[in-house]
Chain A
Amino acid sequence: MLEKLIQMIEGNAERMAEELKGMLLGNPETSSYQVLADITLYKDIFGIYSHLGYWLLRDVEKAEVRTYYSETGRKLSAMGFPLHEVVQAQAATKRHIWDSISDAGIMRTAKDLDSAVDLITFLNRFFDMATYYVTLGYCEALGLQGESGSETWNAPEVSTR
């Protein structure tokens, strides 16, 4: 069932990426995203949605999350994005995924809900890391890096059924 929930997002990646793109471009709290080329913003979102299973379940070491999001943080810092808007966009993406699943009305039985609990665990694990590394990359680009700044996040293993 967890896979089914993930496939629902991957299968609707195009429509959902357009939707989130519109939300980010229309929200005054993420107005800096208006400077990105529409196609770039779309592709970035689509890349997450269309491979959600990979990002959540198969990138076990989370090495790619670290590389991708640190680089994203550095890039957006260089482009002059305010950090709180970047953090806001990460949270909006996570919320959009969860709202899409929640609104689809597919969580009716105890089994469905049990899988939803697993999905919440994996989603948060991924987006927590993404936000941590995007912030780390952003601060590195500004020349702000502390003692533990280069540490791998080493998230504890998640316990699911």
Chain B
Amino acid sequence: MHPSSFEYFAPTKMKEALELLSKYGEEAKIMAGGQSLIPLLKLRIAAYSYIIDISRVEGLNKIRETGDFLEIGALTTVNELEENELVKEKYRILHEAAVQIADPLVRNRGTVGGNISHGDPSNDLPAVAIATKAKLEIVGKKGKRLVDADSFITDSFTTSLEEGEILGKILLPIPKVSSGGCYIKQKKSAGDFSVAAVAVNLVLAEDETIKSAGIGLTSVAPKPTRANKAERYIEGKKIYDSVAREAARIIVSEAEPSTDFYGSADYKRKVLGRIAEEAINLAFERGLVR
């Protein structure tokens, strides 16, 4: 299979990339690791006259803590993310999601920014960004702007990026002392997308009640989704079996799965209910241990 013809650019500066993007507008597509885009081009589901490969743009593959945030450059590969010592040690929810993305070969090319800005409701990092209440830094010709992870993906494969804009950084709040998170992904085979997956991030108060909850869902709606009602339900409570079970029931009611290759909508709800309960219990336990 061959993609249809295109003209190719590989800028090394963000400024150049933005200029090319505004010059060619909708006929151009940004490519980072290409692990989602190249298959689409090969299958001719997508075709563009201009491909702007930003993988050589300098300075966008760093992971570091600054101020209140862990800053991840959009061009950091998923492999770099999973091998990063700081991420392994302090950002378990992120690490857990990273090692479950596709397979090691794909993770060597695929990027954090691509995983998010592709807008695929089955991609794993958007749910983690939602659960951790992350912010995204978007770069455009006029400068930078910050958006909440929630409002970034607006529909299946659709983001709030405006013409001429590129996702530059992901900003994850540095975890509080007593907080716990996890990512549970149910898939049919190794390296596959999920039937359903759930990211839970809990901040505990001194009396072990939930001070703040973040719950993000993958593969069970047209876009990555925050389980708002379930978050409000568990906030202020201690997690007992009955609470986790009721929260999972609410999470399922907030999902809008559709029947497809990965299973019927009903099956996906059942899977989601089970992993959601498990994830809430696990995140709580991890919060207690710290």
User: Do chains A and B interact in one complex?
Assistant: no
